[in-house]
A and B are shown apart, each in its own frame.
Chain A
Amino acid sequence: MTTAPALDGKPRAAVDAAQVAVRSRGYWATVALRVRDDKVTIVCGIVLLLIILSAVFADLIALADPYKASMLKRLKPIGTPGYPLGADEMGRDMLTRLIYGGRLSLFMGISPIVIAFAIGGSLGLVAGFLGGRVNMLIMRVMDIFYAFPSVLLAVAISGALGAGIGNAIVSLTLVFIPPITRVTESVTTAVRSLDYVEAARASGAGSLTIIRVHILSNVLGPVFIYATSLISVSIILASGLSFLGLGTEPPEPEWGLMLNTLRQSIYVNPWVAALPGAMIFFTSLTFNLLSDGLRSAMDVRL
Chain B
Amino acid sequence: MSGGADTRAGGTRSEGAQGAGPQGGGARSGSAAPPLLEVRDLRKHFPVRGGILNRTVAWVKAVDDVDLHVRPGEVLGIVGESGCGKSTTARLLMHLIRADAGRVTFDGALVQADDAAGLREVRRQMQMVFQDSYSSLNPRLPIEETIMFGPKVHGVSAGAARERARELFTLVGLDPAQFIRRYPHELSGGQRQRVNIARALALEPRLLILDEAVSALDKSVEAQVLNLLLALRRELGLTYVFISHDLNVVQYMSDRVLVMYLGKVVEIGPTADIYERMQHPYTEALLSAMPSMDPDRRTERPPLTGDPPNPINPPPGCRFHTRCRFADDVCRRAEPRLAPVQGAGGGTGGDGRGGRDGGNDRNGGNGRNDTGGSHLVACHMRAVGSGHGLAPG
Contacts and interface: CB of A to CB of B under 8 A. Distances in A.
Interface of A: 1-3, 6-7, 10, 12, 15-16, 19-20, 22, 24, 26-27, 194-196, 198-206, 209, 213-214, 217-218, 221, 300-301
B224 to A, nearest CB: 10
Please indicate which of the listed interface residues A7, A205, A301 has the most CB atoms of chain B within 10 Å of its own CB: A205
A195 B185 contact: no
B113 interface: no
Given A202-B96, A202-B123, A204-B124, A217 B138 contact: yes
A195 B183 contact: no
Interface residues of B, number: 41
Nearest to A13: B173
Interface stretch (B44-52, B129-137, B284-292): B129-137
A6 B177 contact: yes
Please indicate which of the listed interface residues A27, A195, A202, A300 has the most CB atoms of chain B within 10 Å of its own CB: A202
Given A7-B178, A20-B178, A203 B127 contact: yes
Contacts of B119: 204
24 contacts: A3-B177, A19-B178, A24-B181, A24-B182, A194-B135, A195-B135, A196-B135, A196-B146, A198-B128, A198-B136, A199-B130, A202-B96, A202-B123, A203-B123, A203-B124, A203-B127, A203-B149, A203-B154, A204-B153, A214-B141, A217-B138, A217-B141, A300-B140, A300-B183
Contacts of B137: 196
A300 B185 contact: yes
B174 to A, nearest CB: 8
B160 to A, nearest CB: 16
Contact of A195 (B130, B153, B180, B203): B130
Nearest to A221: B140
A203 B142 CA distance: 18
Nearest to B131: A195
Nearest to A301: B185
B138 A214 contact: yes
Contacts of A7: 175, 177-178
Given A204-B154, A205-B149, A300 B139 contact: yes
Nearest to A198: B96
B334 to A, nearest CB: 38
Contact of B139 (A3, A205, A218): A218
Given A196-B136, A205-B149, 5 more contacts: A202-B96, A203-B127, A204-B119, A300-B185, A301-B139
Contacts of A201: 96
A228 to B, nearest CB: 19
A41 B191 CA distance: 35
A265 B183 CA distance: 59
A199 B188 CA distance: 20
Nearest to B154: A204
B183 A27 contact: yes
Nearest to B180: A1
Contacts of B91: 198
A206 B150 CA distance: 11
A218 B130 CA distance: 19
Contact of B140 (A203, A206, A217): A217
A138 B182 CA distance: 38
B199 interface: yes
A199 B178 contact: no
Interface in B175-212: 175, 177-178, 180-183, 185-186, 188, 196, 199-200, 202-203
Contact of B178 (A16, A205, A300): A16
When A and B form their complex, which 9 residue pairs have the shortest distance between CB atoms, in order from nearest? A195-B136, A203-B150, A204-B120, A217-B140, A6-B177, A195-B130, A1-B181, A205-B153, A24-B182
A204 to B, nearest CB: 4
Interface in B302-336: none
A10 B175 contact: yes
Contacts of A3: 177
Interface string B54-86: 000000000000000000000000000000000
B344 interface: no
A202 B180 contact: no
Contacts of B196: 199
Interface string B157-180: 000000000000000000101101
B94 interface: yes
B201 to A, nearest CB: 11
Contacts of A24: 142, 181-183, 186
Given A204-B150, A204-B153, A204-B154, A218 B182 contact: no
Contact of A199 (B181, B185, B199): B199
A16 B183 CA distance: 15
A199 B119 CA distance: 14
B177 A12 contact: no
Given A195-B132, A202-B94, A204-B124, A213 B149 contact: yes
Contacts of A27: 140, 183
A204 B116 CA distance: 9
